[in-house]
Amino acid sequence: MTRDINHLIIVPCHGIYKLGQPQAKQESWYLADFQLDGNDHLCFLEHLEQALGELKKDPQSYLIISGGETKKEAGPTSEAFSYYALIDQVVKNEVGVDRVTTENYARDSFENVIFSICRFYEVWKKYPEQITIIGFEFKRDRFLDLHLSQALKFPQDRVNYIGNSPHPIYPAEAEKEAYFKDLQSSEYKNAVQQFKKDWYGVQQNLKTKRKKRNPFSRLNGYALSNPLISDFLLQLGDDQEPKSNVEIKELLRPAPWFS
């Protein structure tokens, strides 16, 4: 196994697959109502397929699937582990178990990014020089502009985003247009607008969402495994008194990618 790994590929999870079930059926996934309308689970499968393709193209890349134990009805199974189960045979037979791992604590898109970076460090004892994110196209700006550029100060020229779009169940074109218009509106109201004000998700609205997505009260240990940015990671904790965006950003200054 080469030690020249420097390219982090992230697949942010959005649901939990029911292990052993037919993967292309909605009933085989724990999904929210709005995800049913878009057949979002088909996008999840595409994300994994695309990620494996990128992994095979670049021998210096490493795939991290990120998502925590977010749904009480699914039990203590992480989104990431359920996704991994879908590609288990491919990993063992074609890619290799030393090219893929999971990140089992993230509760939102910002945590998908920073926790995957921290998980990369846990494995390789260095931070990635390049990042590729594979997810929904309508979330592109949130990930690139708000998380990586604004919040984490990761150089834009070292980031790539590969996006796809849902496959709504509506046959009529007008219904599809209304669906995507509502999707964009919801993305702005519930995510973009929130992260523009609260870069790190530590204020009340976003923090409350995170707590709801942690029904099994899991705590990550990234502040211990990533000593260079431990002060920054500790400040993201649910029990911390929120600081301003600028104050938190300054705690990230020791990061080697900070620009």
pLDDT digit string (tens) for 79-89? 999 999 999 99
pLDDT at residue number 259: 76
Q: Is residue 42 part of a domain?
A: yes
Nearest to 41 by CA among 101, 3, 83: 83
Distance in angstroms (rounded) separating the CA atoms of residues 217 and 29:
22
What rounded mean pLDDT belongs to the chain?
Answer: 96
0.85 exceeded by pTM:
yes
What average pLDDT does the segment 187-203 reach? 97
Q: Is residue 109 part of a domain?
A: yes
pLDDT digit string (tens) for 73-127? 999 999 999 999 999 999 999 999 999 999 999 999 999 999 999 999 999 999 9
What average pLDDT does the segment 9-19 reach? 97
Q: What is the DSSP letter of 109?
A: H
DSSP 153-210: ---GGGEEEEEE----S--SHHHHHHHHHHHHHHHIIIIIHHHHH-TTS-SHHHHHHH
What average pLDDT does the segment 225-248 reach? 97
pLDDT at residue number 1: 45
Instruction: Find all residues with CB under 8 Å of 212, minimum gap 6, and list them.
Output: none
What average pLDDT does the segment 188-199 reach? 97
Q: Is residue 49 part of a domain?
A: yes
pLDDT bin (cut points 50, 70, 90) of residue 11 is very high
Q: Is residue 209 part of a domain?
A: yes
pLDDT at residue number 105: 98
Q: Is residue 2 part of a domain?
A: no
Q: Is residue 112 part of a domain?
A: yes
Q: Is residue 257 part of a domain?
A: no
> Percent of the chain beyond pLDDT 70?
99
Residue 197: which CATH number? 3.40.50.620
For the chain, what is the total number of helices (H) and then of strands (E)? 12, 7
Cα dihedral sign for 115, 116, 117, 119? Answer: positive
75: domain range? 7-169+176-251
pLDDT digit string (tens) for 133-181? 999 999 999 999 999 999 999 999 999 999 999 989 888 999 999 999 9
Judge whether residue 249 has pLDDT over 90.
yes
pLDDT at residue number 169: 86
Judge whether residue 2 has pLDDT over 70.
no
Domain count, the chain: 1
Q: Is residue 258 part of a domain?
A: no
Counting beta carbons within 10 angstroms of the beta carbon of residue 173, is it exposed (0 to 12), middle (13 to 18) or buried (19 or more)? exposed
